Structure 1
Amino acid sequence: MSLLEVRNLKIYYKTPAGYVRAVDDVTFHVSKGEVFGIAGESGCGKSTLVHSLILRKPPMEHAGGEAVFKGRDLMKLSEEEARKIRYTELSIIPQYAMNALNPTKKIKDIVWDLAREHGHTNRSEVEKLLRERLAMVKLTPKVADMYPVELSGGMKQRATMVVSTLLNPDLLIADEITSALDVTTQRVVLELLHHFMEEGIVKSIIFVTHDLALLDKIADRIMILYAGKMAELGPTEEVINEPAHPYTQLLLNSLPRMGVQYKKQKLKGIPGYPISLLNPPKGCRFYTRCPYAMQQCKNEEPPLVKVGENHYAACHLLGGENQ
C-alpha cells in the first residue's frame, strides 16, 4: 500500500532570469514499510524534491503535479495544515543536520518546544521519552541537558535523528545525512534508521544521497535523478547490478571498489557538466554528456521504458514496453 504518491510533480525556482526547473515532471511512490532511495549528482533536484514535500519557501514554487500523502495533496495544504503534520506524520532529517539544532538551547528545550507546538502538555513525559530515545541511539541521558556545541559531530547527528523522529512520523525523509560523516558513523546511522523502522517509530523512509554504495545497503528501491528528470527507477538490486540508463552506469563506474587497485582499473568520471535548468533542451537532458547520444536524443524527450519487473528507465536506446 502506498503511503506517498507523487505524480508529474514540478517544482521551480523563480529568479530574475526566469524559472529554474529543478524538479520537472517526476512521478514515483513510496510504500509502507519501504526505504526508498533517491540518488544523483549535486544539482539534480534531490533536495528540492524532498523539501517541497515538507516546506516550500520562496523562491521555490509548485508549478504542477501532485504529492498525495495519506490521502491529502501536500501541494494544496495551507501553512497551518502543513505545520500540523510536520514532524508528527511527515518529518525530515535535514541536510547538514549537524548544524540544524539551535545552539542557544539545550536538547531537552529544543524537544519540548517541538512537542508543545504539537499539543503535548506534560513536559516530564516528553523528557522521559527523549531520554529513552537517546539511549536507543547509544547516547547517554545526560545529552538531554547539553547544548549542541557540547556534542561531537556524530553525537549531533544522532541527537538530530532523535528530535526528527520523537513524534513517530509515518514518513521520514533523510536528506544527505551521511555526507559529512566518516564511514564508521555512516554505518551507525544506517543501522539506526533500520532500527527506527523495526521498532515502528517510522513506517517508511526516503533516503537521499549521492552515494549509490550507501543505497545498496539500505534501500528497497532507487530512483536516479538527472537535471530534474527521472532517469531510472527500480528495485535496488537491479539498478545496481543491471543499470539500464547510461547515466546510472556512469555513476556506478565512478565509484571506487574494494580490492581493485588504481593501476589496474582507473576510476571513470562523467564527462562534461550538468546543463542549465533555466532553459533546458527539449530532448534528453543527458544528451550533451552521454557517450551513446544520437540525433533523436537531442530533439525528442525519451519516454519511460519498462526494462524489468518494476524497473524503468528513460532512454531512447532501450526497447521494450513503454510505461
Structure 2
Amino acid sequence: MLTVENLRIYYATPVGHVKAVDGVSFDVREGEVFGIAGESGCGKSTLVHSLILRKRPMVHMGGRALFKGRDLMGLSEGEARRIRYTELSIIPQYAMNALNPTKKIRDIVWDLAREHGYSDREEVERLLRERLAMVKLSPSVAGMYPVELSGGMRQRATMVVSTLLNPDLLIADEITSALDVTTQRVVIELLHHFMEEGIVKSIIFVTHDLAILDKIADRIMVMYAGKVVEIGPTEEIINNPVHPYTRLLLNSLPRMGVQYRKQKLKGIPGYPISLLNPPKGCRFHTRCPRAIEKCPDEEPPLVRVGKDHYAACHLLGGEGQ
C-alpha cells in the first residue's frame, strides 16, 4: 500500500532547518493497522502530514513515499488534491476543531463530495445519513453546526467526513489524545468497523500512547528525534522491546493496581534534543542509561533482531534491513 524510503522532511526557519523527519523508512501493508509511537516532538505528526499535505515551512529534502506506485513527494497540487480523501485521507490531530464552524455538517460533506466530482446532492445526503448511523449519530446531526455537537460527537462527525469517499489508506493522527477512555474505545471500535466493512483498507494510527497501540495495531514503529529506533510486530514491541528508548517509554506507562507508594513511575531522564542542531551519532545517547563509547560519534544502523523486527542501537547485532 505504502513504501517510505529514507524520507527527510525539514522545517525551514530563519536560523536553519529543523530536521523533524530525517531518513525514515517503513512500509504499510494492505489490511493492517500500522502504529507510529513516540513522545511529543519526535516527528510522527510531521511524517504523516507530509504524506497528504505539505505547506511551508515544511520542506521535502529527500527520499520517496510510494503510494500505490506513485511518489507522493512528486505529485503536483492538482494530483494531490484528486487523491486526497478519495485514496488517502487523514483524521487530523485536532479533529474536534477541524470542522468549519460556519457550516452545517451536510454542507461540509457536500463541498467535499462536489470537489471530487459528485453532482447528485440527494445521493450524497443519503450516504451521509448511512455513515452517521454507522457511527451511532442521529440523522439530525447533518443539519447541525459543529459547535452544537459535544466533543465525542464532533470526533465521530470528523471521522465520517474523512472516510466518506472510502479512502484506501486512512491516517489517524493522535485522535484519542483529548478523549476520555470510554470515547477512546468507541473511536477504536469504529476504526476496526471501517476496515471490516471495506470503507478503508489500511490505517496509520499515530499516538504517544503505546497502551492504545497494543489494542489496535498489527505493527508498531517507534520514533525518537526524527529517526526510527524500533519497528516490528505489536506483540514483539510490547513484550520484547530491545531498544533502550522503547523500554523506557513502556516503563513510563502507569499500571492498573500498582500504587505510587509501592512503585513510582519511571520517567525518561533528560529532555528531548533540539532538532535544529541534533547531536552526532545516536540521537538518544544524551538520555540513554546504556550508552557506550561509540554512541556519540556513530549513528547506529537499523538491524534485524527477530522476524520482521528491527532496531537501531549499537548494543544490538543482527542483519541490516
Question: TM-score scaled to structure 1, two decimals?
Answer: 0.99
* 1:122 counterpart = 2:128: no
Give CA-to-partner distance per residue, 1:203-252, whole Å, 9 cap, x none: 00000000000000000000000000000000000000000100000000
How far off its partner does 1:263 sit?
1.7
How far off its partner does 1:298 sit?
0.4
Identify which of 1, 6, 9 aligns with 1:8: 6
2:42 alignment partner in structure 1: 44
1:317 alignment partner in structure 2: 315
1:179 partner amino acid: S
2:220 alignment partner in structure 1: 222
How far off its partner does 1:322 sit?
2.2
2:157 alignment partner in structure 1: 159
Equivalenced residue count is 321
For 2:259 and 2:270, the matched residues in 1 are separated by: 25
For 2:153 and 2:110, the matched residues in 1 are separated by: 19
* 1:136 counterpart = 2:126: no
Identify which of 97, 100, 103 aligns with 1:99: 97
1:254 alignment partner in structure 2: 252
Identify which of 164, 167, 183 aligns with 1:185: 183
2:277 alignment partner in structure 1: 279
Which stretch of structure 1 is more off in the superposition, 312-321 or 75-84? 312-321
For 1:307 and 1:185, the matched residues in 2 are separated by: 36
1:237 partner amino acid: E
For 1:174 and 1:154, the matched residues in 2 are separated by: 15
SS in 2 for 1:50: helix
2:23 alignment partner in structure 1: 25
For 2:9 and 2:125, the matched residues in 1 are separated by: 38
Identify which of 50, 72, 77 aligns with 2:70: 72
RMSD: 0.5
SS in 2 for 1:295: coil
Give CA-to-partner distance per residue, 1:85-138, whole Å, 9 cap, x none: 000000000011000000000000000000000000000000000010000000
Show structure 1 runs of 5+ residues with no match.
none
For 2:22 and 2:47, the matched residues in 1 are separated by: 10
How far off its partner does 1:259 sit?
1.5
2:264 partner amino acid: K
Give CA-to-partner distance per residue, 1:282-322, whole Å, 9 cap, x none: 20000000000112000000011111100000000112222
Give CA-to-partner distance per residue, 1:128-182, whole Å, 9 cap, x none: 0001000000000000000000000000000000000000000000000000000
2:301 alignment partner in structure 1: 303
The percent identity for this pair of structures is: 83
1:70 partner amino acid: K
1:205 partner amino acid: I
SS in 1 for 2:238: helix
1:288 partner amino acid: T
For 2:318 and 2:164, the matched residues in 1 are separated by: 46
2:200 alignment partner in structure 1: 202
2:106 alignment partner in structure 1: 108
1:287 partner amino acid: H
For 1:184 and 1:177, the matched residues in 2 are separated by: 14
Give CA-to-partner distance per residue, 1:264-298, whole Å, 9 cap, x none: 21110001011111111220000000000112000
1:253 partner amino acid: N
2:289 alignment partner in structure 1: 291
For 2:139 and 2:182, the matched residues in 1 are separated by: 22
Give CA-to-partner distance per residue, 1:18-60, whole Å, 9 cap, x none: 0000000000000000100000000000100000000000000
Question: TM-score scaled to structure 2, two decimals?
Answer: 0.99
Show structure 2 runs of 5+ residues with no match.
none
SS in 1 for 2:170: strand
For 1:168 and 1:209, the matched residues in 2 are separated by: 23
1:86 alignment partner in structure 2: 84
For 1:210 and 1:26, the matched residues in 2 are separated by: 18
SS in 2 for 1:305: strand
For 1:204 and 1:258, the matched residues in 2 are separated by: 31
2:210 partner amino acid: L
2:302 partner amino acid: L
SS in 1 for 2:222: strand
